[in-house]
Amino acid sequence: MTQQNVVVSDTKSGVSLTVFSTTQKPPAAPGGYISIPRRRVLKNLEINGGQRINAWVESMRASSPTHHKSTPSLSQEHNSWILHHPSALDMFDQIIDASKGKQIVMFLDYDGTLSPIVDDPDRAFMSDSMRKTVRKLARCFPTAIVTGRCKDKVYNFVRLAELYYAGSHGMDIKGPTRSSKYNKDSKAEAILCQPASDFLPMIDEVYQQLVEKTKSTPGALVENNKFCLSVHFRCVDEKKWSELARQVKSVLKEYPKLRLTQGRKVLEIRPTIKWDKGKALEFLLESLGLANCSDVFPVYIGDDRSDEDAFKKLRDRGQGFGILVSKFPKDTSASYSLQEPNEVMNFLQRLVEWKHVSLRARS
């Protein structure tokens, strides 16, 4: 990474971004907007299209799998799914073989990947052992946290200055503030990328309206993630989901430049710019000087629907792979799977151990 300003343009999306140090003013937001296809109901919910509320609720259920009773048919489905998305722990040796001679770059979601999913999002703490593992990982490979959370909030959870952080689904990116072997030239000057900065007043306005509108629904929680909003319904009685959907829709119908997507028991509201976790992954590779390298091996680990954009980006690039964290079969573009954060930690620990062994073998 250099200390100069670098303009990164994406002709397909119409988005231009500037990499700059923390002492400079953020760039203006890009002007490109995305269309939301009707066929993708389970990913992007229509706000002004007259879609029935019960379709919203069905989509909310589909995006929030719960524990199922074990039946022969479900076991068969799971076994079939595992054949196509085998455990990254079981396939570790094959993964390492594919990465040999290449620069591994790690991209990690936070909630449900590095920390367990909890009822109160403000208490999604990562364990000390996970933090220790991620610190060791960052000493071996360039490492980024890519999350729907506010960047500053997830930094307070992780507290590792040597990482890259991409908050708000990649719309708020900051580089390491502590020098490491992968950012020595930057002299701790952090890169910044904020492609949705013009939306901040709108996001704040919608946040206030949603807080007011949803306060009558017990358990509903609206979280301001700076460049996007999250309406958590994990603690809302399922009988109240229709009511919550109506409340959210009544606010968003006045804001056509915002779109609504879903995660695990959460509704996500974000700008309709052509930006997602996949774009953030590309931006970070560009910042590392690895975007056009044939010997780069990106690994993205995540559990949520928004991580699919990054999984698909890796498939399109034909480099590296995605790992989905899930106990249940899901449609995914990830190549491998892990069941829970403890398995993620085990996988990361094995990567670190392999790196140490390979370095000793060279010396």
Distance separating alpha carbons of residues 50 and 99, to the nearest angstrom: 48
Q: How many helices (H) and strands (E) does the chain have?
A: 10, 15
- Per-block mean pLDDT, blocks of 10 residues, the chain (363 long): 38 43 36 36 52 72 60 76 95 96 97 94 95 97 97 96 96 86 53 92 98 97 97 94 94 95 91 95 94 95 95 96 95 97 98 94 79
Dihedral angle over CA of 286, 290, 291, 293, nearest 10:
160
Nearest to 228 by CA among 196, 265, 263: 196
What are residue 60's phi and psi, to 5 degrees?
Answer: -60, -40
pLDDT at 43: 47
pLDDT at 347: 98
Q: What is the largest CA-CA distance in the chain?
A: 66
Domains located in the chain, CATH noted: 16-65+197-271 (3.30.70.1020), 85-196+294-362 (3.40.50.1000)
pLDDT at 49: 52
Distance separating alpha carbons of residues 281 and 287, to the nearest angstrom: 10
CA 60 to each of CA 15, 39, 225, 332: distance values in angstroms, whole numbers, following the listed order: 31, 16, 20, 17
pLDDT at 320: 96
Q: What are the respective helix, strand and coil percentages of the chain, to the nearest 5?
A: 40, 20, 40
